[in-house]
């Protein structure tokens, strides 16, 4: 996928009214499934998942506030953000005074509509701009929310790219927000593009598209016995705004995935953040009972840009070039993960004679001859089974790719072998 194609996917998904359950979530997964194969899991209402219970399924068809002339002054058909997520059905006539407790605005951003939800409380409400609210008369208003809350299912999707190893890399995206393009759809589009790019990897890559919090918890509950296969992972969100890359470390703080992102981000504007138990679903994967090595990759982090969780987080806010940049950052990390091995020097007593093996001669004419020679010397010196190529890259200040190539050349010459232990 190019940036333009990722942006097209964001635009296509944007109008759907997603939530933690329901037909909008299923339709979202169905559209993702047109680009990559998805295995869907449906978890019934009432199922206990760790300390949580799968809630009733929510579906909505229409909602509005009509003034006395019959004009829809707030209209779900214009934007699905206008209804508080998980609002129960309502059909009533109310004055503005009676309505006010159910109306949500952003006084400091008077032209924007906020995103609000109420998953686990029986209530209802409308979201509107402060400017719209200020223009409303006393009423009365026809109030209608045509929704249902009934036993059903929570749905999540998985795409697996099988590798030569059963050890897994987890990429997790939340798919529960309605019309919010950066949070969450840009991350979804980047994940789809990465899944399409992977061919014959070393690791097995597991992409999870699940509702936030409860979806990740459901996946962990249903996969508790195999969660230890996850050797590296990250959550992916806010992937398309114009800000710089931010990487939030896993709970472990020094997991290999943390080291990889610190390495690949060194030569570009970025921010490394320490773990905190707040944010996206990294806090579920990193909960102490699982303590999985899962970080979080965003551009501008959640809550740190004025468009966050408002109607301004629309497809025009998301930049194709920014999504391409996020994808390439992620791809750089994947390449390091895939190539990061430990080796054993098979001729560790003194420096082996590289010239008679033709290794120096094979470098003739290259513009990076000196770097390639130094890469071979560093790999030979630190290939004692305790240093990974990433650690050698950090210590030598040489590019990881140069060290990976040197290791391949030395292995072909019978001077090193991959460390098993």
Query: What are all long-range contacts of 221-229, with beta carbons under 8 Å and residues at least 24 apart?
Result: 221/48, 221/49, 221/50, 222/41, 222/43, 222/49, 227/290, 227/292, 229/166, 229/167, 229/168, 229/204
- Percent pLDDT > 90 in the chain is 92
For the stretch 334-367, pLDDT in tens is 999 999 999 999 999 998 988 888 887 555 555 6
Mean pLDDT for 77-98 is 97
Q: How far is CA 105 from CA 16, 18, 363, in A?
A: 22, 21, 66
Q: What is the mean pLDDT of the chain?
A: 95
Give the global pTM. 0.94
What are 58's strand-pairing partners?
149
CA–CA separation, 338 and 390 (whole Å): 11
Mean pLDDT for 175-194 is 97
The answer to whether the beta carbons of residues 205 and 198 sit under 8 Å apart is: yes
183 is in an annotated binding site: yes
Tell me what pLDDT residue 354 has: 86
Evaluate if residue 381 carries a pLDDT over 70. Answer: yes
CA–CA separation, 126 and 144 (whole Å): 10
The answer to whether the beta carbons of residues 296 and 248 sit under 8 Å apart is: yes
309 is in an annotated binding site: yes
177 is in an annotated binding site: yes
Mean pLDDT for 40-51 is 98
Mean pLDDT for 32-41 is 98
Tell me what pLDDT residue 367 has: 63
For the stretch 260-313, pLDDT in tens is 999 999 989 999 999 999 999 999 999 999 999 999 999 999 999 999 999 999
Domains of the chain: residue spans and CATH: 3-55+153-338 (3.40.630.10), 59-150 (3.50.30.90), 342-418 (1.10.10.10)
Q: Three-state SS for 161?
A: strand
CA–CA separation, 35 and 196 (whole Å): 8
For the stretch 220-272, pLDDT in tens is 999 999 999 999 999 999 999 999 999 999 999 999 999 999 999 998 999 99
């Amino acid at each position: 996928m190019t940036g333009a194609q990722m942006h097209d996917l964001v635009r296509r998904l944007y109008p759907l009214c997603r939530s933690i359950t329901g037909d909008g979530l299923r339709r979202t997964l169905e559209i993702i499934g047109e680009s990559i194969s998805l295995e869907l899991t449906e978890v019934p209402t009432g199922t206990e998942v760790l300390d949580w219970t799968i809630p009733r399924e929510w579906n909505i068809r229409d909602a509005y506030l009509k003034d006395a002339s019959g004009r829809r002054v707030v209209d779900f058909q214009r934007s699905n953000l206008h209804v508080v997520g998980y609002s129960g059905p309502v059909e009533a006539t109310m004055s503005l005074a009676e309505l006010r407790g159910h109306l949500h605005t952003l006084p400091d951003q008077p032209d924007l509509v906020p995103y609000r939800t109420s998953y686990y409380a029986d209530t209802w409400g409308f979201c509107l701009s402060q400017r719209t609210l200020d223009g409303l008369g006393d009423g009365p208003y026809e109030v209608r929310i045509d929704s249902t809350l009934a036993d059903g299912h929570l749905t999540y999707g998985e795409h697996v790219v099988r590798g030569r190893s059963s050890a897994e890399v987890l990429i997790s995206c939340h798919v529960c927000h309605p019309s919010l393009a950066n949070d969450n759809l840009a991350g979804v589009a980047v994940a789809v593009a990465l899944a399409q790019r992977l061919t014959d990897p070393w690791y097995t890559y597991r992409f999870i598209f699940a509702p936030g919090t409860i979806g990740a918890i459901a996946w962990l509950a249903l996969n508790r016995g195999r969660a230890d296969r996850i050797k590296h992972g990250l959550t992916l969100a806010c992937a398309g705004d114009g800000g710089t890359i931010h990487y939030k470390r896993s709970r472990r703080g020094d997991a290999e995935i943390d080291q990889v992102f610190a390495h690949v981000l060194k030569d570009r504007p970025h921010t490394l953040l320490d773990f905190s138990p707040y944010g996206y679903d990294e806090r579920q994967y990193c909960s102490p009972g699982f303590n999985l090595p899962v970080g979080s990759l965003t551009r501008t982090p959640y809550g740190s840009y004025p468009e966050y969780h408002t109607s301004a987080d629309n497809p025009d806010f998301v930049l194709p070039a920014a999504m391409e940049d996020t994808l390439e950052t992620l791809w750089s990390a994947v390449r390091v993960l895939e190539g990061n091995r430990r080796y054993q020097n098979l001729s560790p007593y003194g420096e082996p004679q590289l010239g008679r093996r033709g290794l120096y001669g094979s470098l003739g004419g290259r513009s990076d001859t000196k770097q390639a020679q130094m890469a071979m010397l560093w790999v030979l010196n630190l290939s004692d089974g305790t240093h990974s190529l990433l650690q050698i890259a950090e210590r030598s200040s040489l590019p990881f790719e140069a060290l990976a190539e040197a290791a391949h050349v030395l292995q072909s010459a019978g001077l090193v072998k991959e460390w098993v232990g």
